[in-house]
Amino acid sequence: MRLSQFHLATVKEVPAEAELVSHKLMLRAGMIRKLAAGLYTWSPLGLRVLRKVETVVREEMDRAGAIEMLMPTIQPRELWEETGRWEKFGGQLLKIADRKAQEFCYAPTAEEVITDFARQELKSYKQLPVNFYQIQTKFRDEIRPRFGVMRAREFLMKDAYSFHLGQESLAQTYQAMYDAYGRIFTRLGLKFRAVQADTGAIGGNASHEFQVIAESGEDAIAFSDGSDYAANVEKAEALAPTVARPAPSIPLVRVDTPRQKTIDDVSAFLKVSPQQCVKTLLLKGREGLVALCLRGDHEINEVKAGKLAELPGESVLASEEEILAAVGARPGSLGPVGLPDHIPVIVDRSAAVLADFVCGGNLDGTHYTGANWERDARVTRIEDIRQVVAGDPSPDGRGTLQLARGIEVGHVFQLGAKYAEALNATVLDDQGKAQVMLMGCYGIGVSRIVAAAIEQRHDDAGIRWPEAMAPWRVAVCMINPKGLPEVTAAAEALYAQLAERGIEVVFDDRGLRPGSMFADMELIGIPHRVVVSERGVAAGTLEYRARDEADSRQLGIDELFALLA
């Protein structure tokens, strides 16, 4: 592509409306333009990148045996009523009435329509398993659309749905999709993790999120440095310490700790490490208050705590008044020693192996030293209720955990019979008996990947595309202020030779000053830049610079081809 024949419209100013780096850079590079809240036009430059992602997704879905089709974006209310989601989906469902007052929605997902398709098309177990997918525009009427295409209302999604007779078949396709997703993000050149996800309200089957690693990510994830283990931090198990609890060696002593309320305060004041302290939280339980005890350097994991039988499914701290009334002390001085008998004491596995620890004195301005479980403090039960931290052993026994932030770009899910049951989607089994099908669903946020990649790969000058996502792999920049025919000829020849080799190349023939041209190519993230200039033509070399390298170097043309091969 010659840039003179393309529409490139980069912007110098940092757009005020954008918070995320990816949003800023996509606007500055002219990849997208806002039409209305959460609605973006993809410019020619932006679309080139979007299509790269789409193509990789399609190729790997096909390779994994999924079959592409296309469902309407506008879907009738009746089908969504059959699953109860017309109401349950909530405000994100964009509802529409046509000229005859028939009601429809703009599909945010397509379980209803594909299951309706399947119940009409699939009659026999012989047609199973089958895995249908589409790459189609979706709409979610976000209350607060923001972050550009990261959380847009209209977006491009790949959604796949598989149908099975039996869990084993579902598990196989699930694994095939899991593997395909791995290939997709690997081919796209992104650092990612497949993390175990909480299956939440839908129920107990397997689910993995694919997270692109980026500091700005909304999700915290934990992964092992010694295995493939990765999980959303909400779900990552903190293993029980392998050491046994030492026997008590010192007496319990109450000490004055005036105005020392946090673990940091107390550990500094008493000159003990936070790891030797126990912090105690009082939560509102199903029946009265519940005490949770954690090691001083650990934080509570609210998802894990929410699953305790004593708690009502969520973690709500008791108020200062409630705590004062029950214990006689304020939150900064709580501890497990001498808590009233009606308060269950749930102790985290890591806190449970401490001996001779420091904890609150249940009397304002005091703490205990030399506290010990059983001897001094009651233990109702030992549980895993904390967030994992970097350095924890991996739950699969291999390696230690590291923490990172991630952007969810894919999700695979074993749905089971939920939708097929609601829509009565059955096939005849080999005995001629109607059986409800099992389903899996597998989503990828195609447009979101573009933003996620930028979050992961950028610097002060702009985007650093991985090769597979770059709008073009190579930029040929011509510097020819004197209009020398030999320079033009050399640039044209290089452009033609690269194109002939099937290398995607953009020829910057706009005649800009070198500074502007280079700034553009860096901003839009072209991985390889080659400059053709009077000096280079005279010397018979090309000035090459990789987007990821600080300096340029002189290459012969064969070296360039070898480098790009």
Contact residues for a copy of itself, defined by CB under 8 A: 5-7, 9, 30, 33, 35-37, 39-44, 46-47, 50, 65, 67-76, 91, 94, 96, 98-99, 102, 104, 106, 113, 116-117, 120-121, 127, 130, 132, 137, 139, 141, 143, 153-154
Phi-psi group of 292: left, alpha or beta (phi > 0 → left; psi -120 to 50 → alpha; rest → beta): beta
Q: By CB neighbour count within 10 A (0-12 exposed, 13-18 middle, 19+ buried), where does 302 fall?
A: middle
Whose Cβ is closer to a copy of itself: residue 72's or residue 251's? 72
- Whole-number minimum distance, CB 552 to a copy of itself, in Å? 29
Whose Cβ is closer to a copy of itself: residue 146's or residue 191's? 146
- Whole-number minimum distance, CB 558 to a copy of itself, in Å? 30
- Whole-number minimum distance, CB 326 to a copy of itself, in Å? 42
Q: How far apart are CA 294 and CA 433, in angstroms?
A: 54
Whose Cβ is closer to a copy of itself: residue 7's or residue 482's? 7
Whose Cβ is closer to a copy of itself: residue 95's or residue 378's? 95
- Whole-number minimum distance, CB 76 to a copy of itself, in Å? 4
Read off the tokens for 391: 């350095």
Q: How far apart are CA 413 and CA 437, in angstroms?
A: 15
Q: How far apart are CA 19 and CA 42, in angstroms?
A: 19
- Whole-number minimum distance, CB 119 to a copy of itself, in Å? 11
Q: DSSP secondary-structure letter at 339?
A: -
- Whole-number minimum distance, CB 371 to a copy of itself, in Å? 53
Whose Cβ is closer to a copy of itself: residue 142's or residue 429's? 142
Read off the tokens for 58: 């399609």
- Whole-number minimum distance, CB 117 to a copy of itself, in Å? 6
Point out which residues pair with 300 in neighbouring strands.
386
Whose Cβ is closer to a copy of itself: residue 116's or residue 310's? 116
Phi-psi group of 245: left, alpha or beta (phi > 0 → left; psi -120 to 50 → alpha; rest → beta): beta
Extended beta strands in 381-527, E state: 381-383, 401-416, 426-428, 434-436, 438-445, 458-459, 462-463, 474-479, 505-508
Whose Cβ is closer to a copy of itself: residue 133's or residue 229's? 133
Q: 123-144 burial string, b = 16+ CB within 10 Å, else e?
A: eebeebbbbbbbbbebbbbeee
- Whole-number minimum distance, CB 304 to a copy of itself, in Å? 33
Q: Where are the alpha helices (DSSP H) in 287-388?
A: 302-306, 320-327, 349-352
Secondary structure (3-state) at 554: strand
Segment (H or E) for 33: strand 32-36
Q: How far apart are CA 147 and CA 139, in angstroms?
A: 16
- Whole-number minimum distance, CB 504 to a copy of itself, in Å? 13
Which residues, in sequence order, are CB contacts of 204 under 8 Å at separation 6+?
A: none
Whose Cβ is closer to a copy of itself: residue 133's or residue 357's? 133
**Maximum separation of any 2 CA atoms in the chain, in Å:** 93
Whose Cβ is closer to a copy of itself: residue 129's or residue 393's? 129
Secondary structure (3-state) at 443: strand
Whose Cβ is closer to a copy of itself: residue 10's or residue 186's? 10
Extended beta strands in 355-395, E state: 357-360, 366-371, 381-383
- Whole-number minimum distance, CB 489 to a copy of itself, in Å? 23
Whose Cβ is closer to a copy of itself: residue 141's or residue 429's? 141
- Whole-number minimum distance, CB 35 to a copy of itself, in Å? 5
Which residues, in sequence order, are CB contacts of 384 under 8 Å at separation 6+?
A: 237, 238, 239, 240, 301, 304, 348, 349
Whose Cβ is closer to a copy of itself: residue 14's or residue 538's? 14
- Whole-number minimum distance, CB 45 to a copy of itself, in Å? 9
Q: How far apart are CA 70 and CA 133, in angstroms?
A: 8
The amino acid that residue 305 corresponds to is A
Whose Cβ is closer to a copy of itself: residue 36's or residue 550's? 36
Per-residue three-class SS string for 196-244: ECCCHHHCCCCEEEEEEECCCCCEEEEEECCCCCEEECCCCCCCCCCCC
Secondary structure (3-state) at 358: strand
Secondary structure (3-state) at 542: strand
Whose Cβ is closer to a copy of itself: residue 130's or residue 363's? 130
Q: Are 525 and 475 in contact (CB under 8 A)?
A: no
- Whole-number minimum distance, CB 411 to a copy of itself, in Å? 23
- Whole-number minimum distance, CB 85 to a copy of itself, in Å? 16
